A = this chain, B = another copy of it.
Amino acid sequence: MQRILSTQLPAHVGATVRIAGWAHRRRLLKSVAFLIVRDAAGLSQVVVTDPAARAQVEALTEETVVEVTATVVANATAPAGVELTDPVVRPLGPPAVPPPFDLYRPALTASLPTQLDHAPTALRHPLRSAALRVSAASVAGFRAALDSRDFVEIHTPKVVSSSTESGANVFELDWFGRPAYLAQSPQFYKQLMVGVFEKVYEVGPAFRAEPHDTVRHLAQYTSLDVELGFIADHRDVMRVLRDVLAGMLDGVAERAAGAVAALGIELPAVPEEFPAVHFTEALKVAGAPADEPDLAPAHERALGEWARREHGSDFLFVTGYPMAKRPFYTHPDPVRPGHSNGFDLLFRGVELVTGGQRLHRHADYLAALSARGEPVEPYAGYLDAFRHGMPPHGGFAIGLERFVARLTGAANVREVTAFPRDLHRLTP
């Protein structure tokens, strides 16, 4: 008999079926016992009255893997309107050691560190797994949006000969006796691949040896990277970013509706065009001094409220960040010296995405590095490609865990990461 999933039970009322899953919970009442079985799709209620079957269920520990053959009976008061009666229960392995928290409670009561220490079981909690389903659906939506726009997916090296973003916060490793580094981003590679495919994206790990223990930082995170050529300026990039975010939210709505419902979250509306404010204007809106070189979190929150109030939008672009605060490959604003064609996207008052137009002329790279007093040599292999013809281009990167944390309202990115890596955590 083919196994069916919990969600398929209502279509089999009156029939004998086989389900399988984990012993999620047992409720031992006087005259009847209930065994709740959890599978990938949800929960099934098994009603146990036979004394021998009851003795077996009493001996079952939570999380033991079981197979149940039983009759599907309609019962309006049961989950999904059905329950299983006259069961034959067969364990598919030895009795499980119950995890150090109750997976059947509405939320895990254990502290986050305890959950992370026991991630393989904590992630079985429906709220923890729901966040990961939102994550998977977000990435699927990201790809779908880009595939439909003829972007090509790439896979680039995660071990590099010199650090890409700056010398700090980089993990060093031994590469056959030579020093090498974990890639902090695919920044240079995605730019080079614009020379091949014009429009590219990558979903992959990025590594930052972040020495601070914060709720927003991971030492390994999943970076959703996009780069496109033949742009007029950063506004072409912003339009793609708007469409990509719309695609990600569509992906979540379509592929993770159950998870969205379980988490009780509201997906933001995506305006046809995101409101945008120039950095100098943003300082005024946020009530910050005119000579501030960057936006503090309090400024971003104030801007988020303003965008909500003035534009009815959860999203707000801030453009024209000062060049001094952007990486050396950033293209300057040709008409506002000191400002860049770089932008941030705020989502509900928090920075979600950074992007912009990049330099595309070899000479401009040399000048930019020189102006910052940085040597050319570590970037030579990368810069060389810019001598061979590169179109005006730009792109952006979305941190997947941050996106999901903000969407689901998680206070800590670790809540939406299967096996987080940070200053203190290298296992499980």
Interface residues of A (CB under 8 A from B): 3, 20, 22-23, 39-40, 63-65, 92-94, 96-99, 119-121, 123-124, 129, 132-133, 135-136, 139-140, 143, 147, 150, 152-161, 171-176, 178, 180, 182, 189, 192-193, 195-199, 203-205, 207, 209, 211, 219-220, 222, 230, 360-363, 381-382, 384-385, 387-392, 400, 418-419, 421, 423, 426-428
Q: Are B153 and A139 in contact (CB under 8 A)?
A: yes
Distance of A281 Cα from B424 Cα, bound (Å): 51
For A156, give its contact among B22, B180, B203, B419 (CB under 8 Å).
B419
CB neighbours (8 Å) of A178 from chain B are 426
Min CB–CB distance A171 → chain B (angstroms): 6
Set of chain B residues within 8 Å of A3, measured between Cβ atoms = 230
- Could you pull out 5 A-B pairs where Cβ atoms are within 8 angstroms? A40-B198, A123-B193, A129-B196, A132-B197, A155-B222
A419 B136 Cβ-Cβ under 8 A: no
Minimum CB distance partner of A387 in chain B: B97
CB of A296, distance to nearest CB on chain B (Å): 27
- A12 to B220, alpha carbons, bound, how many Å? 48
A67 and chain B: residue at smallest CB distance? B230
Complex Cα distance A421/B158, Å? 9
Instruction: Please state if B175 and A172 are interface contacts (CB–CB under 8 Å).
Output: no
- Contact yes or no, A172 B174, CB < 8 A: yes
Q: Which residues of B contact A419 (CB under 8 A)?
A: 156-157, 189
Which residues of B are found within 8 Å of A426, using beta-carbon distances?
A: 159-161, 175, 178, 180
Q: Is the CB of B193 within 8 A of A230?
A: no
Residue of B nearest to A64 (CB): B389
Chain B residue with the shortest CB-CB distance to A360:
B93
Taking a contact as CB atoms under 8 Å apart, the answer to whether B161 and A158 are in contact is no
The residue on B at minimum CB distance from A421 is B157
Which residues of the other chain, B, contact A205 by a CB distance below 8 angstroms? 155, 158, 204-205
**Known contacts A157-B220, A173-B172; A381/B427 CB under 8 A:** yes
List of B residues within 8 angstroms of A362 by Cβ: 94
Contact indicator B174/A154 (Cβ below 8 Å): no
Q: Output the residue of A172, A178, A193, A219 with the most chain B CB within 10 A.
A: A193
The residue in chain B whose Cβ has the minimal distance to the Cβ of A422 is B176
Given contacts A121-B385, A133-B152, A157-B419, contact A392 B176 (CB under 8 A): no
Let me know if B159 and A421 touch, CB within 8 A. yes
**A205 to B361 alpha-carbon distance, docked (Å):** 31
Given the complex, which residues of B lie within 8 Å of A387, measured CB to CB? Answer: 96-97
Q: Given A157-B421, A426-B178, are A389 and B96 neighbors across the interface (CB < 8 Å)?
A: yes
The answer for the CA separation of A70 and B20 in the assembled complex, in Å, is: 66
Residues A361 and B154 in contact, CB atoms below 8 Å apart:
no
Cα A268 to Cα B390 in complex, Å, equals 37
